Structure 1
């Protein structure tokens, strides 16, 4: 068997895993490899390339359901949905440019495996919340089907929720079924200018707690604001998106403008500028440019009310911006090849949450915890789950935590 095995049938995936079991080998499980630089460095003998399992198998727009091979390009699925005025409501981001690769290379299987989401997560949830069913091959060499084609299909354990965010460490997904939804008729964005981080978190909390049904909320401090498209001025901007039918969006925009003017000068962006802005937020624009790619990048999830405290707790020269109403903070460290994991972990310990090292050289990703270190009880549970799916560590061993 070659160093890269690229199956085109589910039975071939099962055959490959059984071969690895019989020969004490381990597979790096990938689609196109667009997210290969995420997580801990590979500790495997061979690559199981699932990009040969491609194609949409079922799409029923009226039923809001789509089934596809796991290696199907995400761009292909999004184009199909767009042609039918539908979308993936969890708005998955594209890690391509952030990791120094081409954009649009990800697959639907990889999207679910790392549980991607975008700015709409505060309203629509992440990939796992739209994951209805799958066919997978476990590390035992067994083909398993879970879920179905409707939302209420679970009796017993919901394995889709376990697989989403498992980074290919439990099973190799071959077919997946997801929920899709209609695209909103239009959108607008309210921009509040000139707020500091603490004021912005308060403004976002007020907006999200209002009746305006905000679908995305972010704060772009002045040192990164110029990298975002669609803004009226390159200064600190707190941005709030509204989506839906046109009369509703107009009414809610006017209501939100009145509310936000209690915090500062507020203006509204039209649909074109709003879409451009949120595309920039979704793709983490200031840290995806070529000159920023050598800087280690952290993704921190925390309580929105605590997010602004990070400014004073991490390295002073770090750059950051806030998504999910402050629940997600992107932090770019100031120096190449220096992740300053100690500073990040101490900050997260103080305010709560978890931090993931998204981008760093291989040497750094091998020497520090890429994912949030687990408490002993949780680590033992993670190990038991891994052992139940993949007792011999055939699939992506050590990708998330050493020894798991």
Structure 2
């Protein structure tokens, strides 16, 4: 089966299949020719692989919510469905995506529209991860096209249906190197009635990490713990009476520290900006996303600042955002055993986007890519392939 030429924008070598069958046919033909492609959803995140790719493949035309059952807390959507459409549908029923995906457009100055397939492919997870978990924890099932052009379905509509090999967890966070997602099934959760945030001004990151450890060890269901610009933030969400009680207990816990409390719209604005790393949007320097042990955050940030630039923290110190012009090797040396991903490249090479893989991890990754994409056509030279 040949691809309809109307789906190709020749000036951009852009392939935009209208459905799963057309996508599978195109991938099958590309596999036969070993023709590489760059896979994107809405085009709002990383821009690696374009130089090596014959075509850019986007799933944006494969959109729409397939089914949404608020009572069962499940939603199935095609990969090209915009994140906004998903969030609007959930909001109409008083629900939300618990993993709070960030919007990369501001820090990357990109103009596309985030898609739910892109969110899942990159395992995009926001500040609430410390309480609710990551995107992959809410993924019930997937449909995708592998590197041979085969359509594969895995998982179901409820958690108990996810038996055997959970390929969804494998695809989630693979950045399109193992398959092209066509449909995702997600668990949803009720939206919080109210939220309040405690601000601890004029403190160091070391002080902030001490606050995070103490707060997260208590049964007060803190749903956000972040630090930027000398201020630490703790967020509490839920029913009004419960939130008020937990906020008061947290204030007592941290006496005599200075604490300011903001609520609802102001609090949501604060966490939206922290989630999207808006404080680094105006900088032109590279931006790194660094995963470390929370206890190591103060030392790692100090080492990064010695290189020049600025840093902020999320996930109670487990996620560091660093903006600076330092070379990739210097950043990864400062991070030590942490995992540093280059989110905004600036002048740095595309090969530095993901940390290098060694030993058993490299062998397992290569074996998986060979199994799912034997011709190596999906996002070449990304994530080590």
Could you give the per-residue CA deviations for residues 292-335 of structure 1, whole angstroms, max 9, x where no partner exists? 1x2111111111111011232124331111110010110000xx
- 2:291 is matched with which residue? 301
* Matched length: 374
User: Residues 40 and 400 of structure 1 are in contact (CA less than 8 Å); yes or no, is this contact kept in structure 2?
Assistant: no
C-alpha separation between the residues in 1 aligned to 2:197 and 2:62?
Answer: 39
C-alpha separation between the residues in 2 aligned to 1:308 and 1:120?
Answer: 21
- 1:249 is matched with which residue? 243
C-alpha separation between the residues in 1 aligned to 2:382 and 2:293?
Answer: 27
Question: Which of 262, 279, 294 in structure 2 is aligned with 1:286?
Answer: 279
User: Residues 40 and 370 of structure 1 are in contact (CA less than 8 Å); yes or no, is this contact kept in structure 2?
Assistant: no
- 1:344 is matched with which residue? 331
Q: Match of 2:196, SS? A: strand
Q: Does 1:55 align with 2:61?
A: no
Deviation at residue 377 of structure 1 after TM alignment? 1.2
Question: Which of 298, 318, 322 in structure 2 is aligned with 1:331?
Answer: 322
- 1:76 is matched with which residue? 85
Q: CA RMSD in A?
A: 1.5
Cα 1:181–1:394 shift into 2, 3 Å: same
User: Residues 41 and 365 of structure 1 are in contact (CA less than 8 Å); yes or no, is this contact kept in structure 2?
Assistant: no
Q: Match of 2:222, SS? A: coil
TM-score (norm 1): 0.89
Deviation at residue 41 of structure 1 after TM alignment? 5.3
C-alpha separation between the residues in 2 aligned to 1:25 and 1:326?
Answer: 42
- 1:174 is matched with which residue? 182
C-alpha separation between the residues in 1 aligned to 2:206 and 2:19?
Answer: 53
Could you give the per-residue CA deviations for residues 203-256 of structure 1, whole angstroms, max 9, x where no partner exists? 1111111121100001113xxxxxxxxxxxxxx211100001011000000000
C-alpha separation between the residues in 2 aligned to 1:76 and 1:391?
Answer: 35
- The runs of 5 or more residues in structure 2 that have no matched partner are none
1:1-400, aligned counterparts within 5 Å? 2=8, 3-37=13-47, 39=48, 42-102=51-111, 105-221=113-229, 236-262=230-256, 264-289=257-282, 292=283, 294-316=284-306, 317-333=308-324, 338-349=325-336, 352-361=337-346, 364-366=348-350, 368-400=351-383
User: Residues 257 and 268 of structure 1 are in contact (CA less than 8 Å); yes or no, is this contact kept in structure 2?
Assistant: no
Could you give the per-residue CA deviations for residues 144-195 of structure 1, whole angstroms, max 9, x where no partner exists? 0000100121222110000000000101111111111110110101111221
C-alpha separation between the residues in 2 aligned to 1:22 and 1:83?
Answer: 45
C-alpha separation between the residues in 2 aligned to 1:67 and 1:302?
Answer: 33
C-alpha separation between the residues in 1 aligned to 2:127 and 2:367?
Answer: 33
Q: Match of 2:153, SS? A: strand
- The runs of 5 or more residues in structure 1 that have no matched partner are 222-235
Q: Match of 1:51, SS? A: coil
C-alpha separation between the residues in 2 aligned to 1:184 and 1:195?
Answer: 29
User: Residues 155 and 168 of structure 2 are in contact (CA less than 8 Å); yes or no, is this contact kept in structure 1?
Assistant: yes
Greater shift in the superposed pair: 191-200 or 68-77 = 191-200
User: Residues 133 and 177 of structure 1 are in contact (CA less than 8 Å); yes or no, is this contact kept in structure 2?
Assistant: yes
TM-score (norm 2): 0.94
Q: Match of 2:289, SS? A: strand
